Structure 1
Amino acid sequence: MAGQKMMVMLFQQWVSDKEQWVELRDLLMKESNLPGPRVNLELSGNFAKHFAHPKLTETDWEFLNSWANLTEAEAGVNDPREFLPFCAVRALGAYYSYAEEEQQIMIQSIIKTAMNDSRWRMREASAMALQSIGEDGFALVRQLIDMWEKGANRLEQRAFVAALAHPPLLKKKENTLYCLQLATRIMESVGSGEVQYEDAEHFRVLSKGLEYSLSVFVASEPEEGFAMLEKFAKSRDIRMIKIVKSNLGKSRLSKKYALQVAEILDSLTIQERT
C-alpha cells in the first residue's frame, strides 16, 4: 500500500480538481481491500480526516455528495466501488461540526439513509459518521439521536448503540448515563412487543449491536450498568436473555467484574430451571 503521507498528498491534490476524481476513485478502489472480509479502515479514516475542517470548497462538497449517494446497484456489496460511498459518508461525518446549517441537514439525511442501507458496510459507515460527530461534541450526536429516536426503526436503533459504544465518547459519566438510558429504552421496546410485524433481519441486526454495545456502556459505568443488565436478566423474553448473556461473556466485563457477572449468570440459571 502506498504510504499514508503520500495518500494525504494525493487527496489534497486530486479532490478539488474534477479532472482528477477518476484517479482518486481508482486509487481508493485499488486500496480498498475489496473484495474481502475487511475493508481498509485506516485509509477511509485518513480520507475522512482530510475533510474535518471549515474550509470545504463547493467542489469538495459536490464530490462527497456524488459518492455518498452511490446506490447498491452502482456500488454493490463487496465490490471495490462500495468503498467510495463508505468513505464519503465517514467524511461527511467528520465535516459535520464545521458545516453550515443547510449542509448539516443534508448530511443528516445522508447518514439516516445509510443507517437503513441494505449494505452492512454502509450501515457501519453511518455509525462511524455519528462517532466522528460525537468526538467533535457529544451534544451534537445526542441532539441527532434525540431527534431521531422517536419512531426509529430497528436499523436506526442499531446505528445509535453502535455509534455510542465508542470509548472516546464515554469519558464523561453524564455521556455514559445517557447511553445507558437510551439502551434501556431500546431494550424495553424489544421486550414490550410494541413493534408489530417485526422484520426478522432488521431485528437480527439490532440484536447483534446490542449483544456487544451494552458491555461497553457497563464497563464505563459498572454500578448503573450492571443494574441495567440485572433488570433485563429477569425477563422471560429469550431474545433479551440472549443479549444479556452475550454482554456478560465479553472480556471487558467477565475479567474485571467476574463477581457481578457470576451473580447475574447464577440468577439466569435459577430462572431457567423454574
Structure 2
Amino acid sequence: MSRRERYRDELRAAGPARWPAFLRDHSGLPGPRADLELAQAVADEGEPATFDRLIGTDDEYLVLCGVLGLGRLLAGQTRARASTGIEARLRGHATDPRWRVREAVAMALQRLGDADLPRLLDLGTAWVADPHPLIRRAAVAAVCEPRLLTAPTAAARAVALCERATAGLAALPADRRRGADVRALRQALGYCWSVAVAADPKVGLPAFQALAAVDDADVAWIVRENSRKKRLATLLTGAGAGTRAQPTRKPVRGSAAAPAR
C-alpha cells in the first residue's frame, strides 16, 4: 500500500470534521517540505464543502489541500458541462502571496491534464495571455510536467507557452521586474523550458536556442538555468550547442521561496 492509499484510509476513518487537526499534525510543516502525498489524498477523498472549509482557514497547508481538491472537481467536469466557477477560483488562487498555494494551483491543473489534456492546453493558452505574471506562471508550471508531454503536439504547445511567457517578461520595464510576482514567473521559466524542450527536442531546441540572441539579462538567466538541467544539458551537448546569453545589465534576483525543479 502506498503512502497516499494509506492516507486515504486514515482520512476516511477519521471523517472530514477531524481532517484539519489531522492535516496540521501530518503536514510536514514547519519544515522544508510539505507532505504532498497527504494533500493528494485529501483531494481524492474530499467533497466540495470540505475543500471550501479548508480554503477558508488561514492555514497555508490546509488551503493547499483545498485548492488541490478544486483540481479534482475541475477534472471531473466534461468540457461541455464545465462551469467557469472552479477555473475562476483557481485563477484567483494563482495570485496568492503564499508560494505553496500557488504551487497547489499548478498541481490542481495537472489533475485536469491527466483527465483531459487538450482542455488543460487550451486553459494554459488562455492563462498565459493574462498580463498577471503569476497567472502566466501557473500556466507554464502546470503544463510543463513530463508526464503530460508525451505527445509531440502537447510538447509543442508547452514550448509555445514558454515562448509567450518569456516574451511577456522581457517586455516588462526594468522597475516592474523587481516585483515578487515577476521573479516567481522568471523562476518557473528557469526550469519549464527544459521540461518542454526535453519532451520534443526537434521542436523545442530551435526555440530555446533562439533565446541566446535576445539582448535581455533575465532571458539570459533563464537560458543559463535551463542549460544546467541535466535533461537539457545532454541535448545541448549532443547538438553541439553553446547556448549562452551574456547579460547586459544586472539580472533580477530570483525568488528564494519558489520551488525549483
TM-score of the superposition, structure 2-length normalised?
A: 0.84
Structure 1 unmatched ranges of 5 or more: 52-59, 76-81
Matched letter for residue 67 of structure 2: V
CA deviation map 1:161-193 (0-9, x unaligned)? 111121111011101101111111111222233
The structure with more helix, counted as a fraction of residues:
1
* 8 Å contact from structure 2 (residues 223, 243) kept in 1: no
Matched letter for residue 11 of structure 1: L
1:38 is the counterpart of 2:33:
yes
TM-score of the superposition, structure 1-length normalised?
A: 0.81
Alpha-carbon separation, structure 2, partners of 1:121 and 1:135: 21
2:212 pairs with one of 233, 236, 261: 233
* 8 Å contact from structure 2 (residues 112, 119) kept in 1: yes
Partner residue of 2:259? none
Matched letter for residue 64 of structure 1: F
1:63 is the counterpart of 2:50:
yes
Rg bigger for which structure?
1
Alpha-carbon separation, structure 2, partners of 1:249 and 1:111: 32
Partner residue of 2:42? 47
Aligned alpha-carbon RMSD (Å): 2.6
Partner residue of 1:55? none
1:170 is the counterpart of 2:149:
yes
Deviation at 1:223, TM superposition (A): 2.0
Matched letter for residue 19 of structure 2: L
1:9 is the counterpart of 2:9:
yes
Structure 2 unmatched ranges of 5 or more: 250-261
Cα distance change, pair 146–263 in 1 and its aligned pair in 2 (3 A):
closer
* 8 Å contact from structure 1 (residues 68, 110) kept in 2: no
Deviation at 1:213, TM superposition (A): 0.7
Deviation at 1:47, TM superposition (A): 2.1
2:136 pairs with one of 144, 151, 157: 157
Matched letter for residue 120 of structure 1: W
Alpha-carbon separation, structure 2, partners of 1:194 and 1:181: 23
How is 1:12-31 mapped onto 2 (pairs within 5 angstroms)?
Answer: 12-15=12-15, 20-21=16-17, 23-31=18-26
1:98 pairs with one of 65, 70, 76: 76
Further displaced range: 160-169 or 61-70: 61-70
How is 1:121-160 mapped onto 2 (pairs within 5 angstroms)?
Answer: 121-160=100-139
Q: Percent identity?
A: 26
